[in-house]
């Protein structure tokens, strides 16, 4: 029977952060069951680990949301790295993801990865559409630094700066509005919104992807990497942020993201992960 482990990621304590199911050896699973298994766990992501294509690397990792396979996501990368370390793999390690090899380092229950994928700016959705999705007045959205912006380091999000923490707490995703926005601004991840408030080098954030069966995500490492790349590109210099997410849904998370010198700027993401459950699939 195939073993699995469940980690809470971007937290140092159980029952916070973002849940992740890890299948440390998925070699015996039928490929057509991977999506079904991810849907059964119903976490924002589940990872399936295979032997690497390049023997110099640690593992090949496939990532599934409840509705689709994605090439890259942050908390699955952190959580899977900690899981592999717990199972005896040495650090540093290289995981083969859909966007290419990603180097990771693990110390105890803390992992970090660096992505050198170039920032892709896809579009600038209008303020009215975004405000409607979040059930906010248009004047709650700040455009002083950037317009609402669809951008990606492998997984696209719409990044929206809000004017106050109060406005962030008041966000209430409206499914019909998200569907209209996805039709108007199509992308592989159906108009996922990462809304944030910035205070110096701290971001308070929430992420909503209701069309992908993720009403709200407590920690979104890939979005945190991308917003760091976006704000660094706008500033013209590498920036670093401590990002608080999941507070409004009772699963507080802390993500550290930093741009590094380079062109394009590599982005380093780090955080903790703790094992909460383990068992086996009986299928």
Q: Write the DSSP symbol of residue 72.
A: -
End-to-end CA distance of the chain: 8
Give residue 97's Cα distance to chain centre: 14
Residue 45 annotated to the active site: yes
**CA gap 94, 88 in Å, rounded:** 14
**CA gap 107, 186 in Å, rounded:** 39
Residue with tokens 């992501």: 45
Q: At what angle do helices 221-235 and 74-86 cross, to 10 degrees?
A: 120
- Which residues on adjacent β-strands are paired with residue 111? 106, 271
How many of the other CB atoms lie within 10 Å of CB of 40?
Answer: 14
C-alpha neighbours within 13 Å on the C-beta side of residue 247: 15
Pairing of strands 149-152, 193-199: unpaired
Pick the catalytic residue from 45, 96, 161, 216. Answer: 45
Long-range contacts of 253-256 (CB under 8 A, 24+ apart): 253/9, 253/10, 253/11, 253/16, 253/17, 253/18, 253/218, 253/219, 254/10, 254/11, 255/10, 255/74, 255/219, 255/220, 255/221, 255/224
Q: Convert 242-271 to b/e letters by CB count within 10 Å (16 or more is b).
A: ebbbbbbeebbbbbbbbbeeeeebbbbbbb
Residues classed as catalytic: 45
């Amino acid at each position: 029977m195939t073993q699995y482990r469940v980690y809470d990621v971007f937290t140092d304590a159980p029952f916070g952060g973002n849940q992740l199911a890890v299948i440390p050896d998925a070699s015996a699973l039928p490929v057509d069951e991977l999506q079904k298994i991810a849907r059964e766990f119903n976490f924002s992501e589940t990872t399936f680990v295979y032997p690497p294509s390049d023997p110099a690397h640690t593992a090949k990792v496939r990532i599934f949301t409840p509705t689709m396979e994605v090439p890259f996501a942050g908390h699955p990368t952190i959580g899977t790295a900690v899981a592999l370390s717990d199972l005896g793999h040495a650090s540093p390690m290289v995981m083969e993801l859909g966007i290419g090899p990603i180097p990771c380092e693990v110390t105890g229950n803390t992992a970090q990865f660096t992505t050198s994928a170039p920032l892709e700016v896809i579009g600038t959705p209008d303020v009215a559409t975004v405000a409607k999705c979040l059930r906010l007045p248009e004047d709650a959205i700040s455009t002083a630094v950037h317009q609402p912006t669809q951008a990606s380091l492998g997984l696209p999000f719409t990044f929206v700066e809000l004017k106050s923490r109060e406005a962030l707490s008041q966000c209430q995703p409206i499914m019909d509005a998200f569907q209209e926005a996805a039709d108007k601004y199509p992308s592989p991840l159906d108009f996922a919104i990462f809304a944030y408030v910035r205070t110096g080098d701290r971001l308070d954030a929430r992420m909503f992807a209701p069309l992908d069966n993720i009403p709200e995500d407590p920690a979104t490492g890939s979005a945190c990497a991308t917003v760091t790349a976006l704000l660094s590109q706008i500033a013209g210099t590498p920036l670093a942020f401590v990002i608080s997410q999941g507070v409004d849904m009772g699963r507080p998370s802390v993500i550290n993201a930093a741009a590094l010198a380079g062109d394009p700027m590599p982005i380093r993401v780090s955080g903790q992960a703790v094992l909460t459950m383990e068992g086996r699939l009986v299928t």
